[in-house]
């Protein structure tokens, strides 16, 4: 009896909360010159690097709670590569795999070192033509994995008591829904500027810029930030490797916070959003211009100090794949790299890609793909959600609307391969690129939103 009382007495005076420790670090994972470049259905090679391709890591710990968030300047990742990175990070940092997130900014100016369809097809074609397959050039895939792990390990070494300031900024007029309902009733991606057949955009945009700034608790000096924006990382189009606007945003924020500052930028729910404003003839923003607008939104956001309170949750959604096509594999290969590729239309090639991707994913994980969803609560008013794939903007807006947190930041293309997750409603559209690309049956986006909201509620104060 007495013993219970003592325990009760102890329980009623909670120990002071442990400090939130945060560390940030980057690793240079720039591919060698001549490595394959991402972002198109053709095989292209990067000549050199215009600016570095980085893996950026945040390490978070408070008492028993811990998490790692890594974002890479690459177009996408692949399941086995993700597993190697997450396991490597868990080993180096002691943070369990489910609390480690690895994601891509969807940068089309980065290397193609992951794509489970094209890596195999291009290797096959190179062999048939007696050419070198550049996939392993400079041992790049292994170096990429090691770089991501090193960034996380260095972030842990740099961890120190940190204070947080949070906000949701606004970046008006930079992101646009790229899918349009046309006069003939179809839905087209990027139908062209001032196209007279456009009736209206087929979906919403999200101009919010949720952000958190970490400062050294002792000196008060900010040392890192995490922010995300729902727009494709496609403002860059050159043949030299580049990190695109997230790289320029890093340079912009260093002007404000100092040269050592680490800006971790993630792509938000941008499956149907990019920088192209079809309603004007004006040129699209350059990477620098896009970064300047993001930086302006970042600086203008009124940040409020909040007390760090870390909790990490990992969940899973079982996502049903489309049916396989028994004759599909050979025909699809032909449409992408064989004779058929010479006359194939764009959507025909997109569908061929999808058939091969679906086939590959089914062989890996069966008819239902287990998809990871994570939530990192950073304070009572700020949470980070990670989602796999390129998720449509409407799904992200739905998660934010239902989130119990004042600020909810979405990180997409996390912990999984790169493909589209449209809304269930979009599957009814005719002619849609993103729906044609998606290996899933309708409803997966809504399942992801449910799981994200469930986890957010679980950690809400
Ligand atoms: Zn995309």
Residue 244 pLDDT = 97
Mutual angle of helices 328-337 and 346-365, in 10-degree steps: 130
Q: How far is the CA of 386 from the centre of ligand 1 (A)?
A: 17
Q: Are 312 and 62 in contact (CB under 8 A)?
A: no
**Cα angle: 320, vertex 323, 324; to 5 degrees:** 125
Query: How many whole angstroms from 244 Cα to the centroid of ligand 1?
Result: 14
pLDDT of residue 145: 98
Ligand 1 centroid distance, CA of 181 (Å):
19
Give φ, ψ of 379 to 5 degrees: -160, 180
Residue 188 β-bridge partners = 180
The rounded Å distance from CA 4 to ligand 1 centre is 58
- Say what the pLDDT of residue 431 is: 84
Residue 213 pairs in a beta bridge with 165, 225
Predicted local distance difference test score (pLDDT) of residue 216: 98
- Tell me which H or E stretch contains 351: helix 346-365
Ligand 1 center to 317 CA (angstroms)? 21
Q: Which SS3 state, helix, strand or coil, does residue 269 take?
A: coil
Nearest C-alpha neighbor of 408 from the set 332, 334, 459, 347: 459
Tell me, in angstroms, the distance from the centre of ligand 1 to residue 147's CA. Answer: 24
> Which chain residues have CB less than 5 Å from ligand 1, an ion?
390
Q: How far is the CA of 367 from the centre of ligand 1 (A)?
A: 24
Give the Cβ contact number of residue 248 at 10 Å. Answer: 25
Centroid of ligand 1 to alpha carbon of 373 (angstroms): 19
Give me 399's structure tokens: 């998660």
CA of 419 to the centre of ligand 1 (A): 7
Which residue stretches of 366-443 are H helix?
A: 393-402, 433-437
Please state whether beta strands 54-62 and 179-182 pair in parallel, antiparallel, or not at all (unpaired): unpaired
Residues β-bridged to residue 102: 70
Span from the CA of 6 to the centroid of ligand 1 (angstroms): 58
Q: How far is the CA of 106 from the centre of ligand 1 (A)?
A: 7
Q: What is the distance in A from the centroid of ligand 1 to the CA of 107?
A: 9
Cα distance between residue 125 and residue 229, in whole Å: 37
Question: Residue 77 gets which letter from DSSP?
Answer: B
Q: Compute, in angstroms, the gap from residue 293 CA to the centroid of ligand 1.
A: 21
> Ligand 1: distance of its center to the CA of 233 in Å?
8
- Helix or strand holding residue 245 (H, E): helix 245-257
Residue 196 phi, psi (nearest 5): -70, -15
- Retrieve residue 57's tokens: 């890591």
Residue 11 to residue 6: CA distance in whole angstroms:
9
Distance 297 CA to ligand 1 centre (A): 23
Tell me the C-alpha distance between 419 and 41, whole Å: 13
As a whole number of angstroms, the distance between CA 208 and CA 397 comes to: 10
Task: Give how far Cα 300 sits from Cα of 162, 171, 303, Å.
Answer: 22, 10, 9
CA distances from 246 to 143, 235, 293 (A): 22, 10, 12
What pLDDT does 324 receive? 84
Terminal-to-terminal C-alpha distance of the chain: 32
Q: Can you tell me whether residue 159 is helix, strand or coil?
A: coil
Give the pLDDT of residue 16.
Answer: 55
Distance (angstroms) between ligand 1 centre and the Cα of 439 equals: 14
Q: Rounded to the nearest whole angstrom, what is the distance from the C-alpha of residue 390 to the centroid of ligand 1?
A: 6
Domain boundaries of the chain, sorted by first residue = 21-314+370-459, 322-366
- What's the CA-to-centroid distance between 431 and ligand 1, angstroms? 16
Ligand 1 centroid–CA 273 distance in Å is 9
> How close is the Cα of 458 to the center of ligand 1, in Å?
31
Strands (E), 175-292: 176-177, 179-182, 187-189, 198-201, 208-216, 222-229, 262-267, 273-274
pLDDT per residue rounded down to tens, the chain (461 residues): 333 334 344 444 445 578 999 999 999 999 999 999 997 888 899 989 999 999 999 999 999 999 999 999 999 999 999 999 999 999 999 999 999 999 999 999 999 988 889 989 999 999 999 999 988 898 999 999 999 999 999 999 999 999 999 999 999 999 999 999 999 999 999 999 999 999 999 999 999 999 999 999 999 999 999 999 999 999 999 999 999 999 999 999 999 999 999 999 999 999 999 999 999 999 999 999 999 999 999 999 999 999 999 999 999 999 999 998 777 899 999 999 999 999 999 999 999 999 999 999 999 999 999 999 999 999 999 999 999 999 999 999 999 999 999 999 999 999 999 999 999 999 999 888 999 999 999 999 999 999 999 999 999 98
Query: What gap in Å lies between CA 191 and CA 204, rounded to an integer?
Result: 17
Q: Is 175 left (phi over 0), alpha (psi -120 to 50) or beta?
A: beta
Cα–Cα distance, 208 to 10 (Å, whole number): 44
């Amino acid at each position: 009896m007495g013993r219970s009382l003592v325990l009760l007495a102890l329980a009623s005076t909670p120990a002071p909360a442990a400090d939130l420790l945060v560390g940030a670090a980057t690793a240079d994972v720039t591919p060698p010159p001549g490595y394959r470049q991402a972002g198109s259905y053709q095989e292209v090679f990067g000549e050199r690097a215009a600016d570095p391709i980085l893996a950026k890591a945040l390490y978070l710990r408070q008492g028993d709670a811990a998490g790692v968030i890594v974002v890479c300047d690459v177009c996408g990742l692949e399941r086995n590569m993700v597993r190697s990175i997450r396991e490597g990070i868990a080993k180096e940092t002691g943070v369990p795999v489910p609390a480690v997130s690895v994601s891509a900014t969807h940068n089309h100016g980065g290397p193609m070192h992951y794509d489970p369809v094209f890596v195999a097809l291009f290797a096959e074609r190179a062999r048939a033509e007696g050419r070198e397959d550049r996939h392993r050039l400079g041992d790049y895939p292994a170096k990429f994995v090691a770089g991501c792990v090193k960034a996380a390990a260095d972030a842990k070494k740099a961890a120190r008591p940190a204070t947080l300031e949070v906000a949701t900024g606004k970046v008006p007029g930079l992101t646009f829904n790229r899918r349009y309902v046309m006069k003939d009733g179809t839905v087209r991606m990027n139908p062209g500027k001032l196209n007279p057949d456009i009736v209206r955009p087929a979906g919403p945009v999200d101009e919010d810029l949720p952000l958190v700034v970490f400062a050294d608790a002792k000196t008060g000096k900010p040392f890192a930030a995490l922010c995300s924006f729902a727009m494709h990382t496609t403002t860059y189009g050159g043949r030299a490797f580049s990190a695109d606007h997230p790289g320029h945003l890093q340079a912009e924020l260093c002007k404000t916070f100092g040269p050592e500052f680490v800006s971790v930028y993630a792509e938000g729910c941008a499956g149907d959003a990019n920088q192209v404003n079809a309603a004007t003839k004006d040129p699209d923003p350059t990477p620098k211009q896009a970064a300047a607008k993001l930086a302006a939104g970042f600086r203008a956001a009124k940040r409020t100090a909040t007390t760090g309170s870390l909790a990490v949750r990992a969940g899973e959604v079982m996502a049903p794949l489309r049916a396989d096509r028994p004759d599909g594999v050979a025909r699809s290969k032909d449409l992408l790299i064989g004779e058929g590729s010479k006359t194939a239309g764009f959507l025909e090639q997109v569908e061929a890609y999808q058939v091969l991707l679906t086939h590959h994913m089914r062989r890996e994980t069966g008819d239902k793909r287990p998809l990871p969803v994570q939530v990192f609560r950073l304070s009572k008013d700020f949470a980070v959600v990670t989602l796999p794939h390129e998720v449509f903007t409407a799904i992200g807006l739905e998660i934010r609307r239902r989130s119990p947190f004042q600020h909810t930041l979405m990180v997409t293309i996390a912990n999984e391969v790169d493909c589209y997750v449209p809304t269930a409603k979009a599957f009814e559209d005719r002619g849609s690129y993103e729906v044609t690309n998606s290996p899933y049956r309708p409803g997966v986006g809504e399942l992801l939103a449910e799981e994200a909201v469930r986890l957010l509620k679980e950690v809400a104060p």
